[in-house]
Amino acid sequence: MPEIKVTPLGAGQDVGRSCILVSIAGKNVMLDCGMHMGYNDDRRFPDFSYITQNGRLTDFLDCVIISHFHLDHCGALPYFSEMVGYDGPIYMTHPTKAICPILLEDYRKITVDKKGETNFFTSQMIKDCMKKVVAVHLHQTVQVDEELEIKAYYAGHVLGAAMFQIKVGCESVAYTGDYNMTPDRHLGAAWIDKCRPDLLITESTYATTIRDSKRCRERDFLKKVHETVERGGKVLIPVFALGRAQELCILLETFWERMNLKAPIYFSTGLTEKANHYYKLFITWTNQKIRKTFVQRNMFEFKHIKAFDRAFADNPGPMVVFATPGMLHAGQSLQIFRKWAGNEKNMVIMPGYCVQGTVGHKILSGQRKLEMEGRQILEVKMQVEYMSFSAHADAKGIMQLIRQAEPRNVLLVHGEAKKMEFLKQKIEQEFHVNCYMPANGETTTIFTNPSIPVDISLGLLKRETAIGLLPDAKKPKLMHGTLIMKDNSFRLVSPEQALKELGLAEHQLRFTCRVHIQDPRKEHETVLRVYNHLKGQVFPFFFYPPRNGLELIILR
């Protein structure tokens, strides 16, 4: 029986290092190629030796698909393609292709230049890697080879985030990457058509959360920022340069404008200005409202938000600083955090998910004494707030997407095992489909039952559809014909044509048996009654009025 095999090399019952291998109808596809923020050793990259021990990866993979530019989805790409070695196609959307190399370079700088690691990928490797990237449009059907095709859908997680459908013949897999089902201030909602894939691989970051209305969350956020600023405190918001940062900037910008506030808002690193440029040029990927009004006012030209200088951190008085990276695991956000952590007037707001092992995760789980580099202990007195602004679908959103796509099986990745377990039960109950949640390195096999495409000669089709009622396009219909399997193709033709084509003589078989029936009626009446009786009872599909040499009954 045909089967689809899925093995997560990362993101199996875990968040971070997304990398999922899919084998479908003899094709091997790798979905995402991410790094893990929680590790600094070998575990940060997926274990590609799983794919092959000594051969080249190009021989084993037909293509690689990157869903969006976050490093936990693309951070291992240069390592994978240049250091391990892969020359096949890598697919991503245009904005992802534009932004991905910048984040990779940033990541490389932090790792190599700041932490002094060696044996890491170089700038040149990032460039060479990006040369292998093929950019795709939304909804464009990309023919990877004769049989394998992929198609991107809008995912609404960050600029350029996409879901992908992978299709070979009648079999298909849909992979969501990270997605968001509710439109926000700058992005639209994820959308997929009723593509009925054999398997839907969905993220499940917020598998158990049903988030309250976005408006409440926003009001809450603004209130907390406002209060802190009012009492002269400093607010640190660790973010990734692209994504939630822009969302929160728009939120604060409009609030500052409305309330006429004067406290400065800063955005760290030169990356940001560049980042906003990308949003301006890829405005077609944002939500409808921004797209409609961009000629009059571009939402990504901020009036109140200025560039941050390192020296500003020591300035007295209130301020709001957006600093990268988002999980407080390195870089500027961590530096500022160390400076401000000791003052209870200050506040840090974590607007997104934090991977285990990061400082962000530690303070969110209540830890107030942190061991920093060099055995130094940092006491956290500032207020720590968590506000979920990550653009992931919550449990309701995940269910909604499943309803939209109508998959035959569901597989959960990019979430925590305990939460997945809960969601898995819910999905199985509500949709009556199998739901899987493999751990890293564990293979899930799904059996598919694809229909068999056949060419039918037009003559036969017309003859067969002429019998009986008009065919209903959606319902199966019985047809008689001869199936010829030749050169890997199936053709259904009339028996006469088949005989002619194959140069065979026609033979007739007759099955007879003698049955005695006691019936006082006339012969033809009896025949009719036997026929009608059989017609009603047996083989509704196979039973036709006597024809094609099937002499029904001979009476004596």
Partner 1 sequence: MKLRYCLSGHPTLPCNVLKFKSTTIMLDCGLDMTSTLNFLPMPLVQSPRLSKLPGWVLKDGSTFLDKELKECSGHVFVDSVPEFCLPETELLDLSTVDVILISNYHCMMALPYITEYTGFTGTVYATEPTVQIGRLLMEELVNSIERVPKAQSASMWKNKEVQRLLPAPLKDAVEVSMWRKCYTMPEVNAALSKIQLVGYSQKIELFGAVQVTPLSSGYALGSSNWIIQSHYEKVSYVSGSSLLTTHPQPMDQASLKNSDVLILTGLTQIPTANPDGMVGEFCSNLAMTVRNGGNVLVPCYPSGVIYDLLECLYQYIDSAGLSNVPFYFISPVANSSLEFSQIFAEWLCHNKQTKVYLPEPPFPHAELIQTNKLKHYPSIHGDFSNDFKQPCVVFTGHPSLRFGDVVHFMELWGKSSLNTVIFTEPDFSYLDALAPYQPLAMKCVYCPIDTRLNFIQVSKLLKEVQPLHVVCPEQYTQPPPTQSHRTDLMIDCQPPPMSYRRAEVLTLPYKRRYEKIEIMPEVTTWYVMMLPRRLLNMIQKLGRSDHL
Sole window of 103-111, 335-343, 432-440, 535-543 interacting with partner 1 (rule: CB under 8 A): 535-543
- Please identify which residue in 295, 377, 470, 505 interacts with partner 1, judged by CB under 8 A: 295
Residue 227 or 519 having the CB closest to partner 1: 519
At residue 252's C-alpha, the angle toward residues 280 and 269, to 5°, is: 60
> 408-467: which residues touch partner 1 (CB under 8 A)?
449-458, 461
- Minimum Å distance from CB 191 to partner 1? 12
Binding to partner 1 by CB under 8 A, coded x per residue (else -) over 235-274, reads ---------------------------------------x
Ramachandran region, residue 259 (left: φ > 0; alpha: ψ -120 to 50; beta: rest) = alpha
Q: Is 302 in the site for partner 1 (CB under 8 A)?
A: no
Q: Is 539 in the site for partner 1 (CB under 8 A)?
A: yes
- Minimum Å distance from CB 59 to partner 1? 26
Q: How many residues bind partner 1 (CB under 8 A)?
A: 55
Sole window of 29-37, 196-204, 208-216, 522-530 interacting with partner 1 (rule: CB under 8 A): 522-530
- Minimum Å distance from CB 162 to partner 1? 12
- Minimum Å distance from CB 538 to partner 1? 5
Residue 406 designated active-site = no
- Minimum Å distance from CB 141 to partner 1? 5
- Please identify which residue in 307, 372, 504, 517 interacts with partner 1, judged by CB under 8 A: 517
Closest among 94, 18, 31 to 61, alpha carbons compared: 31
Q: Is 142 in the site for partner 1 (CB under 8 A)?
A: yes
- Please identify which residue in 115, 533, 535, 547 interacts with partner 1, judged by CB under 8 A: 533
- Minimum Å distance from CB 517 to partner 1? 5
- Please identify which residue in 519, 528, 551, 555 interacts with partner 1, judged by CB under 8 A: 519
Rounded to an integer, what distance in angstroms lies between the CA atom of residue 63 and that of residue 58?
8
Q: Is 479 in the site for partner 1 (CB under 8 A)?
A: yes
DSSP string, 35-56: --TT-SSGGGS--GGGT-SSS-
Binding to partner 1 by CB under 8 A, coded x per residue (else -) over 272-291, reads --x--xx-xxxxx-------
Sheet with 162-168, strands from edge to edge, namely 141-143, 148-154, 162-168, 171-175, 199-203, 409-413, 434-436
Dig out the tokens for 320 from the structure: 């709001």
Closest among 189, 147, 150, 182 to 25, alpha carbons compared: 147
Residue 372 or 538 having the CB closest to partner 1: 538
Q: Is 307 in the site for partner 1 (CB under 8 A)?
A: no
Residue 66 or 380 having the CB closest to partner 1: 66
Specify the 3-state DSSP secondary structure of 224.
Answer: helix
- Please identify which residue in 135, 195, 222, 384 interacts with partner 1, judged by CB under 8 A: 135
267, amino acid identity: F
- Please identify which residue in 116, 374, 476, 540 interacts with partner 1, judged by CB under 8 A: 476
* Residues paired with 167 in a beta bridge: 149, 172
Residue 258 or 516 having the CB closest to partner 1: 516
- Minimum Å distance from CB 280 to partner 1? 8
DSSP string, 367-434: --EEE-GGG-EEE--SEEEE-------BHHHHHHHHHHH--SEEEEESS-HHHHHHHHHHHHHHH--E
497, amino acid identity: Q
- Minimum Å distance from CB 526 to partner 1? 7
Binding to partner 1 by CB under 8 A, coded x per residue (else -) over 152-181, reads ------------------x-----------
Residue 287 or 356 having the CB closest to partner 1: 287
> 60-99: which residues touch partner 1 (CB under 8 A)?
94, 97-98
- Is the peptide bond prior to 546 cis by the omega test (within 30 degrees of 0)? no
Residue 258 or 510 having the CB closest to partner 1: 510
Give the largest CA-CA distance in the chain.
114
At residue 103's C-alpha, the angle toward residues 6 and 200, to 5°, is: 20
Residue 241 or 321 having the CB closest to partner 1: 241
Q: Is 372 in the site for partner 1 (CB under 8 A)?
A: no
CB 368 within 8 A of CB 335: no
Alpha-helix runs per DSSP H in 311-368: 331-340, 359-364
Count the Cβ atoms, other than its own, within 10 Å of residue 360. 26
* Residues paired with 200 in a beta bridge: 174, 410
- Minimum Å distance from CB 307 to partner 1? 17
Rounded to an integer, what distance in angstroms lies between the CA atom of residue 430 and that of residue 127?
46
Binding to partner 1 by CB under 8 A, coded x per residue (else -) over 486-515, reads ----xxx------------------x-x-x
| Sign of the dihedral through C-alpha 246, 251, 257, 260 | negative
**Catalytic-labelled residue, pool 3, 146, 147, 203:** 203
- Classify strands 347-350 and 234-238 as parallel, antiparallel or unpaired: parallel
Rounded to an integer, what distance in angstroms lies between the CA atom of residue 556 and that of residue 547?
20
Distances (CA, A) of 212 to 157, 193, 219, 394, 396: 18, 26, 12, 10, 11
- Please identify which residue in 84, 110, 112, 138 interacts with partner 1, judged by CB under 8 A: 138
Dig out the tokens for 121 from the structure: 């990928």
Residue 216 or 307 having the CB closest to partner 1: 307
Query: Mind telling me the catalytic residues?
Result: 203
Residues near partner 1 (CB under 8 A): 94, 97-98, 135, 137-142, 151, 170, 274, 277-278, 280-284, 294-295, 449-458, 461, 473, 476, 479, 490-492, 511, 513, 515-517, 519, 526, 529-530, 533-534, 537-539, 542, 553
